[in-house]
Amino acid sequence: MRFGIRNWGFGKAVLPLCAAALLSACGFHLRGEVKLAPSMQRVAVVSSEPAGQLRRSVEDAMKRAGATIAAPGEGVGEIRMTAVGVQTLVGSVGGNARVNEFNMIYHVDLEIVDSAGKTVLEKQPIEQTRSFTFDQTQAAGTGAQQDVIRREMERDMAQAVMRKIDSVERRLSQ
């Protein structure tokens, strides 16, 4: 039997099947949307940055999960994100006493209250840190680099908030 171009069609069919079998055997699952409890079907996303991208991203994710976004009030669950902020700190300094590396820290205090007014997740901090090097020959690009990192961190933080909501929902449904 010759292995060549003609026999590659068989390999194209078998290779994805083998990959799927291996992935399912190791317990890998695609991350799906959060399954919301009835007490979180109507929810308000409250943030210390009301016009911030994080609030909009969490609202969009909640809508995809089937929630209706509402104003805070009676019968409405709340996702409270306080102390939302990004801080840039010096990570390392070179021998010439100039900054070589910065650390960006994105911090959110998260609290979740269901529609009955019961706190289902006490306020707890979520932090993400990213490091980036500072090239003094490319100093003009540093601001743009920080903007890109901040957008990535906002996206990742929205996913972290949704994972917290999912873990609370799983805990409550048991």
User: Residue 6 domain-assigned?
Assistant: no
Mean pLDDT of the chain: 81
CA 150, chain centre distance (Å):
12
Share of the chain above pLDDT 70, in %: 74
- Residues constituting the chain: 174
Domain span at residue 84 reads 32-173
Q: What is the pLDDT of residues 70-118, one digit of tens each?
A: 999 888 999 999 999 888 877 777 777 777 788 889 999 999 998 889 9
Q: Total structural domains in the chain?
A: 1
Specify whether the CB–CB gap between 132 and 104 falls below 8 A: yes
Which amino acid makes up residue 154? E
Q: What is the pLDDT of residues 63-83, one digit of tens each?
A: 998 889 999 988 899 999 999
Residue 144 sits in a domain whose CATH number is: 3.30.160.150
User: Residue 13 domain-assigned?
Assistant: no
User: Residue 12 domain-assigned?
Assistant: no
User: Residue 52 domain-assigned?
Assistant: yes
User: Residue 27 domain-assigned?
Assistant: no
